[in-house]
Structure 1
Amino acid sequence: MAYEVIGKLVAKYDTMQRSETFKTREFVIEKSDDIGGRIITNYIKFQCVQDKTALPDKFNIGDELKVSFNLKGSKWSKDGRENYITNLDAWRLEQAGSLAQNMQQNTSSTKQDFVPDADPGDVVDDLPF
């Protein structure tokens, strides 16, 4: 399932070689929302894997980005205890600038921050009215 979010790039880190065949790179965006007249700021850390680790290179700190990403989760056991980890795997970064301003002007206070991509044909309208 794919998601998108728009925010300001505030950090990008070096690529980490996790194993002989696996590498990752993390970056952080800042996303602020006006909720009932109060500005709430969140910092969201994403990771890029393998051939996507070069994606942040095209952007500078302070740039407004649209990040397309997938939610990934895994489970493992260690010493009889179950552990879970969730990753936000970014697979596309785009300059957002005016796109972000247009989206904020055209959305209502009931908008969702993370909206999954959906095929309109997959949406079932089963409301009784």
Structure 2
Amino acid sequence: MEIRGKVHEIGATQQVTESFKKRDIIVAYAENPQFVEYIRFEATQDRVTIFDGLTPGDEVDVAFNLRGRPWTNKEGVTTYFNSLVAWRVTKAATQQAAPQNFGGEMQAPPASFSAAANDDDDLPF
């Protein structure tokens, strides 16, 4: 899956255990500009560096996987968790309309095409 949004916040890398680390990023996603959604993505292990070089306000494309898992507490109650695991984040290409030059300034038509040069022509219609 992939979405485009603006970086709202970038978290620090968290060393959860000796062998597990993660990092979060919050992306403002505005499919409808009146209702902005703030979506948390996480990166784990060696992918925590994919958020390096980003700053809040950057427009980004986030490629991610949706993950879900159950967790059962001591009382036997099962709760389900969802995670959005980012595997690629790239700055969105901003397109700026560059003025196009189609051969310079417009030139006047040759004299043979001007109305004054063809006054004696009678058109058949």
Shift of 1:40: 1.8
Aligned runs of 1:1-129 on 2, under 5 Å? Answer: 3-34=1-32, 39-78=34-73, 79-98=75-94
Higher strand share: 1
TM-score (norm 2): 0.71
CA distance in 2, matches of 1:81, 1:33: 35
Amino acid at match of 1:75: P
Amino acid at match of 2:55: N
Could you list the runs of 5+ residues in structure 2 that have no partner in the other structure? 97-125
CA RMSD, Structure 1 to Structure 2 (Å): 1.6
After TM superposition, where is structure 1 displaced by more than 6 Å over at least 4 residues in a row? none
Number of residue pairs matched by the alignment = 95
Task: Give deviations 1:45-98, integer Å, cap 9, x for gaps.
Answer: 000000010111121110000000000111121121001111000000011142
TM-score (norm 1): 0.69
Amino acid at match of 1:82: T
Higher helix share: 1
Equivalent residue of 2:52, what SS?
A: helix
Q: Which has the larger radius of gyration?
A: 2
Task: Give deviations 1:81-129, integer Å, cap 9, x for gaps.
Answer: 0011110000000111427x9xxxxxxxxxxxxxxxxxxxxxxxxxxxx
Amino acid at match of 1:16: Q
| Higher RCO (CA-CA < 8 Å; seq separation 6+) | 1
Could you list the runs of 5+ residues in structure 1 that have no partner in the other structure? 102-129
Amino acid at match of 1:68: A
